[in-house]
Amino acid sequence: MHKFSNTESALGKFWQLSAADENYTMAAQQKFGISNLLARILSQKNVELEAIPDFLDPKLKNLLPSPYLLKDMDKAVQRIAAAIKNKENIAIYGDYDVDGASATAILTKYFRSLDVQPEIYIPDRIKEGYGLNTQALLDLKKRGNALVISVDCGITAFEPILEAKNAGLDVVVIDHHLSAEHMPVAVAVVNPNRVDDNSGLNNLCAAGVSFMLLVGLNKFLREDGFFKQNKLNEPDLLKLLDLVALGTVCDVMTLTGINRGFVSQGLKMLSNRTNPGLAEICDIAGLKNKPDVYSLGFLIGPRINAAGRIGDCSLGAKILSSNDEVFTKSTAAILNDLNKERQEIEKLALQQAVKQAEKQHEKNKHAPLILVHSADWHQGVIGIVAGRLKEMFNKPTAVISITGGIGKASARSVSGIDFGSAVANAKAAGIITIGGGHKAAAGFTINENKIGELHDFLSRQFEKPYLEYITNKNSYANLSLKVSSVNLELINEMEKLAPFGNGNSEPKIILEDAKIVKTKIVGEKHLQCFISEAGLAKNSATIKGVCFNCVDTKLGEKLEAAYMKNASILGKLRKNIWNGTENIEFLIEDIVL
């Protein structure tokens, strides 16, 4: 047992090294010729021995399942193929978030490669709200569309789809949100999270499901002789993987199985800059290094989301599907400006929301929920605010924007607490009017006078799982190292485990017998320091350390108090590339003196 395992950290945790199976480690080294380091971490991640090659080199040809595992896929493929061959007008009805925009663009780019020009329809977030609405569907029918494909929405749009059917408009639903016990009366409902789907692909986002649809559709059209008959080149689906990766990362899907293949190969495609819209966004965001998961989630994603939050909701889908250089350049600039505006709106809303949340937390620190609301908050930023509050208070959080007595809410959750299911239960109980989501995130509509009832309902739902969550004080690390043993070769070896994200976290490292030799505050809330090995000479090698948003927190105080004292420091090693030079950086998460 290590010396830090019985000492409470600055964050009130007890650190443990994750166990590695020695037999597994030895077998992995011998069978696949990998290092002991990689073998140990793969054991800790519970990667099956035979799955190691696909984990370290995730190729679609090895990971891609049959699209027909998804229920109703055959119906969806046949209806869409008929529309293409019969030259029917097709509309794609998407959601306004990154996943919805990505899924819409995936289908649009594919159809355009077949000389089919679909109409893109993204509802206005404020005026229409999330998902399919009857008037929009009827208007699409009036404009001559015979088929509507809904992406990232539709699974609970019972009345709008029924009205569309009665008007003679066919709807194919491509979604991934939790379903009710029964399905809407669509031609096909392809959703790995519908209650009667047994595909096991419930971790796909809408962009992933859309790609699976195109795999099935492409095969169907090929075997039917469509490409030859019409003298068309068969579309290269691999060129769409950058969009699949974008939707997967921004919708926080776990990076395991097929999603690992999507993101790994999608990042390679993003590096090739084959999508003009993505290339322009990367340029205006200042992305100079090789794109990674961080680039997708924190540089590209927020700019696409900005349009859906406070601007023209269709801009995200349009820039991602466009090949027009003038349009993509001008739209990228608009999205960048909207993102700056969104940040200012978000900042004010967050300040107000934090005050409400602090009062709730002070009243009952063990309450399993933060639920705040206001008529002053823009609906477009409440999802981001919910995420910030969740991180600050380490609790499931719902943020509600109220207009005319009706609240629109976004919710974010912590590990082990399923907010999507809780919303479904609240809807079944008649507390909310519309709602849906998945484990980590959800959204709903509620009458203002029901907010108190919802707070009590969710508190009861979350009480037991939250107690389990907060009483687990263990914090696990993968490796314990001395500062002198950290080098770029070590980081390069760990990067073989990328892409990192939800479900495949970066290795956590404990730097033992370390001391902080210099600290300074940067950017008001961040602490920068240099870490060396205790007992070594003053001029020995140091590692640059960074602890984000820790100034005026317990962790920040402990870090400053650790100056020239022996400590163990928990965090992640990163390779920082600046002007072509590679340097080591340690992202600090916790400390034990």
In DSSP notation, 299-365 reads IIHHHHHHHHHHS-TTHHHHHHH---HHHHHHHHHHHHHHHHHHHHHHHHHHHHHHHHHHHHHHH-T
Which class is domain 1-11+478-593? Answer: mainly beta
Q: Are 476 and 590 spatial neighbours (Cβ–Cβ below 8 Å)?
A: no
Q: Are 526 and 549 spatial neighbours (Cβ–Cβ below 8 Å)?
A: yes
Model pTM score: 0.90
The H or E element containing residue 452 is helix 451-471
Q: Is 434 helix (H, G, I), strand (E, B) or coil?
A: strand
Q: Are 281 and 303 spatial neighbours (Cβ–Cβ below 8 Å)?
A: yes
CA distances to 56, 60, 102, 168, 536 from 74, in Å: 33, 21, 23, 21, 67
Query: Distance (Å, rounded) from C-alpha 59 to C-alpha 65?
Result: 12
Q: What is the pLDDT of residue 570?
A: 96
In the CATH scheme, what is the code of domain 63-337?
Answer: 3.90.1640.30
Q: How many CA atoms lie within 13 A of 52 on its CB side?
A: 20
Q: Are 119 and 91 spatial neighbours (Cβ–Cβ below 8 Å)?
A: yes
- Long-range (24+ apart) CB contacts under 8 A made by 323-328 are 323/276, 324/276, 325/276, 328/276, 328/277, 328/279, 328/280
The H or E element containing residue 384 is helix 382-393
Point out which residues pair with 120 in neighbouring strands: 92
Which class is domain 364-471? Answer: alpha beta
Other beta carbons within 10 Å of 554: 12
For the chain, what are the domain ranges?
1-11+478-593, 19-53, 63-337, 364-471
Other beta carbons within 10 Å of 298: 12
User: Residue 454: which of 480, 428, 475 has the closest Cα?
Assistant: 428
Q: What is the pLDDT of residue 86?
A: 97
Query: Distance (Å, rounded) from C-alpha 518 to C-alpha 520?
Result: 7
User: Residue 1: which of 339, 574, 474 has the closest Cα?
Assistant: 474
Q: Do domains 63-337 and 364-471 have the same CATH topology?
A: no
Query: Distance (Å, rounded) from C-alpha 36 to C-alpha 18?
Result: 15
CA distances to 83, 137, 158, 434 from 163, in Å: 20, 8, 9, 18
Query: Distance (Å, rounded) from C-alpha 155 to C-alpha 445?
Result: 16
Q: Are 244 and 49 spatial neighbours (Cβ–Cβ below 8 Å)?
A: no
Q: What is the pLDDT of residue 1?
A: 43
Query: Distance (Å, rounded) from C-alpha 377 to C-alpha 352?
Result: 9
Q: What is the pLDDT of residue 467?
A: 92
Query: Distance (Å, rounded) from C-alpha 476 to C-alpha 373?
Result: 35
* pLDDT < 70 regions, the chain: 1-5, 537-539
DSSP state for residue 201 in the 8-state scheme: -
Burial (CB < 10 A; 0-12, 13-18, 19+), residue 445, is middle
Distance from the Cα of residue 414 to its chain's centroid: 14
What is the 3 state secondary structure string of 209-257?
HHHHHHHHHHHHHHHCCHHHHCCCCCCCHHHHHHHHHHHHHHCCCCCCC
Q: Is 149 helix (H, G, I), strand (E, B) or coil?
A: strand
> Cβ contacts of residue 26 below 8 Å, gap of 6+?
39
The H or E element containing residue 575 is strand 567-578
Q: What is the pLDDT of residue 539?
A: 61
Other beta carbons within 10 Å of 86: 9
Q: What is the pLDDT of residue 458?
A: 97
